[in-house]
Amino acid sequence: MTLKTREQYIQSLRNCKKRVFLFGEEVENYVDHPLIRPSLNAVAMTYELAQRPETGGLLTADSNLTGERVNRFTHLHQSTSDLVEKIKMQRLLGQCTACCFQRCAGMDSLNALDAVTAHMDQELGTPYHQRFRQYLRHVQEEDLVVGGAMTDSKGDRSLRPAEQADPDMFVRIIHKDEGGIVIRGAKLHQTGAINAHELLVMPTRALRPEESAYAVACAVPADAPGILYIYGRQASDTRKLEGGRVDVGNAEFGGHEAVIIFDDVYVPWEWVFMCGETAFAGELVEWFAAHHRASYGGCKVGVGDVLIGATQAIARVQGVENASHIKDKIVEMIHLNETLYACGIAASTEGAPSPSGSYLVNRLLANVTKLNVTRLPYQIASLAQDIAGGLLGTLPSEKDFNHPEIGPLLEKYLASSARYPTRWRQHLLRLIENLTVGAGAVGYLVESMHGAGSPMAQRIMLARLAGLEEKEQMALKIAGLAEEPAPVHGG
């Protein structure tokens, strides 16, 4: 098998017996749970679009490992065209789901590990790259969802991993034997983890030689013994339990995050891709971050397209679409959204081969992309709320609209333009609410701020990658000062 159908993917999760906890209880059937199922539907869309004739070319690629057509989320980028196609795919999926579709971190982890394991083997003579390529062949042949597990719980953030009062604040190796390793710790904010088949565990930061226990990269089945998932709360999440559709806003699709506990999980050597090589931990983090930061120039733009469309629609329903200030605000939303897309495309077209031959995005432009993503979606959301009006936050419930006595009164007094029924206003306001303050805001806004690193992480990388000394020399040359001796600084 190379490409699963949507139905085959859903069935494969039924066969994946994870331990999932939600609201203090263990969930027996997580596949059909009303809080979790919308996020599963979003992942299923990555399989469905791969099967459609009109989108299959974008959602799939020719594997450099098997020669078969594989889902692009399991593909190693072989050119800058591949990197661009990835951004276009992510935008399309954002447009189709209006949420996080949860496979980007896994795709970006696969590409980062491919490059870094090749570099490790070149420098150290290790067997990691061959192991990794064999693992990836398995992922491609079975068309699996891989979750990238990087963010540790970190404990006291003023202390390094080995300095923590509890050494398990960063995932670490606690045992090795001839068959493999045992890992212990937790990963936080793990997007789509419950919908994954596999987890790729990676270090979360650069490490020192004495921190070798924390320099671990490995793959584990998502239902391996010792793994526990605790589902994360989202704003307005219990609306999904009410049985209605309108108040959810985006009833079919959604995202999720989870805390993953690794309670002494055994990993055979064949799926271990870093084991104590601290010198390469920071490189793996940076290369993953570069791929993932560029990704936000696709996925968040697709969700932004939906939010812009909802804002234009609510303006029409409320009869203000021709007001000049409304038109100007919507143009500004478009400008901000396309700026993000331009950054993602630029980071991709300026990519270059990595040590493994797979392609890495331009790291400087990837960090520019993500730094913009920490700001511009918030501005887009603010404009959407401005145009939607105060009813965005005060609209009565779906049950009130369905009540035999007060429902007709709400239909009467909450009507807007005579061209549209009141329910149009009701549906659109709930969608905008979902994307800007409700459950959907986690995938659109909170991820925009903190996913792939918070703003300071990007600013640090910009300072490191921008070539300030080279720029200074350009200026000195133009100013006629390049040949003069440098002045002596100090008292």
Tens digit of pLDDT for each residue in 62-104?
999 999 999 999 999 999 999 999 999 999 999 999 999 999 9
Residue 182 CA to residue 224 CA, distance in Å, equals 12
* CATH top class, domain 6-275: mainly beta
Contact (Cβ atoms closer than 8 angstroms) between residue 318 and residue 154: no
Contact (Cβ atoms closer than 8 angstroms) between residue 169 and residue 161: yes
- Of 186, 116, 108, 114, which is closest to residue 147 (Cα–Cα)? 108
Fold adopted by 284-470: Butyryl-CoA Dehydrogenase, subunit A; domain 3 (1.20.140)
Q: Give the pairing type, strands 146-149 and 198-201.
A: parallel
Residue 489, pLDDT > 80, answer no
Tokens of 414: 């909450």
Calculate mean pLDDT across residues 144-149: 98
pLDDT digits (tens, 9 = 90+) for 315-373: 999 999 999 999 999 999 999 999 999 999 999 999 999 999 999 999 999 999 999 99
Burial of 339 (0-12, 13-18, 19+ CB in 10 A): middle
Tokens of 457: 């992480």
Q: Which helix (H) or strand (E) holds 149?
A: strand 146-149
The residues near 104 (Cβ < 8 Å, ≥ 6 apart) are 73, 90, 292, 295, 299
Q: For a pLDDT cut of 70, what percent of the chain falls above it?
A: 99
The pTM assigned to this predicted structure is 0.96
pLDDT digits (tens, 9 = 90+) for 205-225: 999 999 999 999 999 999 999
Q: Give the pairing type, strands 198-201 and 257-268.
A: unpaired
pLDDT of the residue at 488: 75
pLDDT digits (tens, 9 = 90+) for 148-166: 999 999 999 999 999 999 9
Residue ranges of the chain that CATH labels 2.40.110.10: 6-275
CB count, 10 Å around CB of 418? Answer: 7
DSSP letters along 436-459, please? Answer: HTSTHHIIIIIHHHHTTS-HHHHH
Average pLDDT, the chain: 97
DSSP single-letter state for residue 396: P
pLDDT of the residue at 448: 96
DSSP single-letter state for residue 152: B
DSSP single-letter state for residue 76: P
pLDDT digits (tens, 9 = 90+) for 117-136: 999 999 999 999 999 999 99
Contact (Cβ atoms closer than 8 angstroms) between residue 113 and residue 217: yes
Q: How far is CA 352 from the centre of its chain?
A: 22
Cα separation values, 411 from 31, 96, 146, 317, 440, Å: 36, 30, 46, 14, 26
Report the helix count and the strand count for the chain, using DSSP H and E.
18, 14
Cα separation values, 250 from 120, 190, 378, 380, Å: 44, 21, 19, 18
User: What residues are annotated to the active site?
Assistant: 100, 104, 191, 257, 292, 296, 299, 447
pLDDT of the residue at 171: 98
E strands along 192-279, which residues?
198-201, 216-221, 227-231, 257-268, 272-275
Residue ranges of the chain that CATH labels 1.20.140.10: 284-470
Calculate mean pLDDT across residues 250-260: 97
- Of 292, 3, 40, 39, which is closest to residue 144 (Cα–Cα)? 3
